[in-house]
Amino acid sequence: MQMTERGLLALAGHEGVVPAPYRDSTGTWTFGVGHTAAAGPPDPTEMPRGMPADLDAGIYEAFRVFRADLATYEAEVRVAVTVPLTPHEFDALVSFHYNTGGIARASLTRHLNAGDREAAARAFLNWRRPAEIIPRREAERDLFRHGRYPGGPIPVWSADPAGRVDFSRPVRRLAESEALAFLQPAKPDAPVTPTPTGWFARLAAFFSNLIRRA
| The one catalytic residue among 24, 43, 76, 116 | 24
CB count, 10 Å around CB of 29? 18
Kindly provide the b/e burial profile for residues 94-124, where b requires at least 16 CB atoms within 10 angstroms of the residue's own CB.
bbbbbbeeebeebebbebbeeeebeebbebb
Task: For residue 87, give every residue at least 6 positions away whose Cβ sits within 8 Å of its Cβ, in sequence order, or none.
Answer: 1, 4, 7
CB count, 10 Å around CB of 10? 27
Write the burial class of residue 44 (CB in 10 Å: 0-12 exposed, 13-18 middle, 19+ buried). Answer: buried
Q: Is 15 a catalytic residue?
A: yes
22 pairs with which residues across the strands? Answer: 30
In angstroms, the CA 154 to CA 177 distance is 11
Report yes or no: 137 and 128 within 8 Å, Cβ to Cβ. Answer: yes
| The one catalytic residue among 15, 69, 74, 89 | 15
DSSP-based three-state secondary structure for 40: coil
In angstroms, the CA 185 to CA 64 distance is 7
The catalytic residue positions are 15, 24
